[in-house]
Amino acid sequence: MVEQRPFVTVLTHLVLVLGVIAIALPVWITFVAASHDEIRMVQTPLPLWPGTHLWENLTQTLFGTGLSGTQTAPVWLMLTNSLAMAMMIAVGKIAISLLSAFAIVYFKFPFRMACFWLIFITLMLPVEVRILPTFEVVANLGMLNSYWGLSIPLIASATATFMFRQVFLTIPDEMLESARIDGAGPMRFFWDILLPLSRTNIAALFVILFIYGWNQYLWPLLITTDPSMTTIVMSIKQMLEAAEQSPQWNIIMMTALLAMLPPILVVIAMQKLFVQGLTETDK
Amino acid sequence: MLKRVHFPPSLLPYLLVAPQVLITLVFFIWPASQALYQSFLIEDAFGLSSEFVWFENFTLLWDDQIYIDTFWRTAFFSVAVAVLSMSTALILAGFAERVVRGAMVYRTLLIWPYAVAPVLAGALWVFMFNPTLGIFPYFLEFVGVNWNHYLNGGQAMSLVILVAAWKQVAYNFLFYLAAMQSIPKTVIEAAAIDGAGPIKRFTTIILPLISPTTFFLLVINAVYAFFDTFGIVHAITQGGPANATTILVYKVFSDGFVGLDLGGSAAQSVILMVLVISMTVVQFRFVERRVEY
């Protein structure tokens, strides 16, 4: 701040607090809804202050049979599925991007640039614009209703490859020279020098990719028909549809809360890495 | 691009790029070329035979008033989302930048919606705006507004825009705040000594200096509104009422998976691909320029 203006200072905090409230309001309402019982949640006006049924709703949501009159997997299973999918996507993307960036930066081989441009193209083909034929490929490979089908088609990554390429290019050539004089082969160099040097970049990217993986919606919606493969994020839509018959909003909103909690916690707990990842990966 | 010093040629680099290249070929290139090929075919009603028709699917779309309407609706939607979320983020960042102590606390409290999945954001808001139960319709009734986004197309569109913008404020805020914090303090102080008040400094110094960020965010927000909002529309309105919230990505999905019009859906996919490619090119051009700046 360059000058003392009490009025502007008060206004600043006022606007920011209002902004925070406006941004947080939907989550507050969700939290309140998840802490009341079923009967309270069908009476208008709906409560704005938390009730006493939070724990009860939590256990019923996690281990119960879902909404009455619907056939859904228990929520703990959906959370497990989401975690598996998010981890496979994040780790898979990082692993294959590290390897291909290493090859492109440290080796000279025919078709190097062809590989580079091939990877580059994936940036321009988001899953939304090629859903039908990609679905057919996955169906033909027999990968419907499996963790492989959920994750592998999404793990090619141009952004991650570019980011690691950028990181590797900043590593001084002397590193490689001295490693080679000491008799290190390519993979030894990769494990003992490149990986440790790009540790924070990997962590930052992991935060972004975990959120990306966890929040996948359209893709799991298409390729999972077996209720035991449902992810938590896609279950919300099914619950919203079921809400017309059985409006158990306390359970629905508790599920929504559980679905968004892990990625939000990741952002808040690893804020520094998150910000770094977001600004670095941005194409 | 390539290191001056590199490893001797061997089979290894091929093994290293193999996973990435294989996945790209199988799940990206092949499906995309299939979409391209299918966009030149028209299937009969029973899906038994298909005929190669060149650009007929595209001319059909061109003549289809519903598709043209969807196109303009999507354009309106993305402009509205970009303007709403960017201006909110700009104001919040402008104030947050003034805060000496506690700026990081505000940042933490404002950036987390980035982590909320679009479909979840939709679920949260659709609950608040539920016509019979929701909090907002209850209060809106006191001011004489009868809220029902299942029947009123305008209200449905406003709700979808509001949710999409709410989710994107976090991202824009983060980039605006970073841009403002990178402006040298001396410039601001010099202006203050010359007698420029906070508003004058904001409009004549900060705003022009962060214009590269504004342009960058404009492209990012357009891409977001075009492609990442499927979940929001699917959760809140499913494109309705009467197509009032059907955007391009949603139409590809509903024509392909629900309507089973493979050729038409593929042609729409191809148009979307062209749109993504041009947006990516614009973005890259800009990023290059930003480096110079």
Query: Per-residue pLDDT for chain B (293 aa), expressed as one digit of tens each?
Result: 567 667 777 888 889 989 999 998 988 888 888 888 878 877 666 666 677 777 777 877 788 888 889 999 999 999 999 999 999 999 999 999 888 777 788 888 898 999 999 999 999 998 889 888 888 888 888 888 888 888 888 899 999 999 999 999 999 999 999 899 888 889 888 988 888 888 888 898 899 899 888 988 988 898 889 888 888 999 888 887 888 888 988 888 888 777 777 777 888 888 888 888 888 787 777 655 544 33
Give percent above pLDDT 70 in chain A: 94
Asked if the Cβ–Cβ distance from A214 to B29 is below 8 Å, we say: no
Of A12, A218, A263, the CB nearest to B98: A12
Interface test with A, best of B5, B20, B247 (most A CBs within 10 A): B20
> How close is the nearest chain A Cα to the Cα of B3, in Å?
6
Domain span including residue A236: 65-281
Amino acid at B146: N
Neighboring chain B residues of A156 at a CB cutoff of 8 Å: 20, 23-24, 27-28
Distance, CA of B91 to CA of B84 (rounded, Å): 11
Q: Do B249 and A128 touch (CB under 8 A)?
A: yes
Closest alpha carbon within chain B to A241: B235
Write the residue in B30, B111, B123 that is nearest to A236 by C-beta. B123
d(CA B255, CA B57): 13
Element (H, E) at B52: strand B50-52
DSSP bridge partners of A107: B7
Q: In chain A, which residues have their Cβ closer than 8 Å to the Cβ of B88?
A: 19
Domain covering B55-292 in this structure, CATH number: 1.10.3720.10
- What is the Cα Rg of chain A in Å? 24
Nearest residue of A to residue B109 by CA position? A20
The contacts of residue B137 (CB under 8 Å, 6+ apart) are B129, B130, B131, B147, B148
Question: Which pLDDT belongs to residue B291?
Answer: 40
Query: Considering Cα of A65, then A68, then A73, then A79, what sign does the dihedral take?
Result: negative
User: Distance between CA B61 and CA B68 in Å, rounded?
Assistant: 8
In whole angstroms, how large is the CA radius of gyration of chain B? 24
DSSP 3-state of B130? coil
Residue A142, chain B, CB below 8 Å: the answer is no
Please tell me the distance from the alpha carbon of residue B56 to that of residue A14, in angstroms, as a whole number: 58
Calculate how close chain B gets to A231, using CA atoms only, in Å. Answer: 12
Spell out, as residue ranges, where chain A has pLDDT lower than 70. Answer: 1-2, 65-71, 128-129, 281-283
Burial class (CB in 10 A: 0-12, 13-18, 19+), B279: middle
Going from N- to C-terminal start, the domains of chain B cover 55-292
d(CA B203, CA B211): 11
Q: Determine, yes or no, domain membership for A22.
A: no
ipTM score: 0.87
- A-chain residues near B4 (CB < 8 A): 173
Cβ pair B232, B77 in contact under 8 A = no
Percentages (nearest 5) of helix, strand, coil residues in chain B: 75, 0, 25
Q: How near does any CA of chain A get to the CA of B46, in Å?
A: 18
CA atoms within 13 A on the CB side of A236: 35
**Residue located via tokens 């160099």:** A189
For A100, counting Cβ atoms within 10 Å of its Cβ (0-12 exposed, 13-18 middle, 19+ buried), the class is buried
Residues in Cβ contact with A55 at an 8 Å cutoff, skipping those fewer than 6 apart: none
- In a domain, residue A252? The reply is yes
Q: Which residues of B touch A122 (CB under 8 A)?
A: 24, 28
Residues of chain A positioned with their CB less than 8 A from the CB of B185: 2
Q: Which parts of chain A are beta strand (E)? A: none
Asked if residues B250 and B234 have their Cβ atoms less than 8 Å apart, the reply is yes
Q: Does A244 touch chain B (CB under 8 A)?
A: no
Q: Nearest residue on chain B to A101, judged by CA atoms?
A: B17
Look at B132 and A222 and tell me if their CB atoms are within 8 Å: no
Sign of CA dihedral A31, A37, A38, A41: negative
Chain position carrying tokens 């004058």? B200
Give the Cα separation of B54 and B38 in Å (integer): 10
Residue B48 DSSP code: S
Distance of CA A155 to the CA centre of its chain: 12
Q: Is residue A276 part of a domain?
A: yes
Q: How many domains does chain A have?
A: 1
DSSP string, B82-93: HHHHHHHHHHHH
What is the distance between the alpha carbons of residues A140 and A133, in angstroms, rounded to a whole number?
Answer: 11
Burial of A136 (0-12, 13-18, 19+ CB in 10 A): middle
Which candidate in A130, A162, A233 is best for mutational testing of the B interface (most B CBs within 10 A)? Answer: A130
Distance CA A6, CA A45 (A): 39
Helix, strand or coil, per DSSP, at residue A82: helix
Please report the pLDDT score of residue A123 as a whole number.
Answer: 74
Read off the amino acid at residue B148.
N
Cβ-defined contact of A125 to B283 (cutoff 8 Å): no
Q: What is the CATH number of the domain that holds A74?
A: 1.10.3720.10
Supply the pLDDT for residue B293: 36
How far apart, in whole angstroms, are the C-alpha atoms of residue A259 and residue B117?
9
Q: Does residue A195 fall inside a structural domain?
A: yes
**A55 occurs within a structural domain:** no
**Residue owning tokens 């299973």:** A77
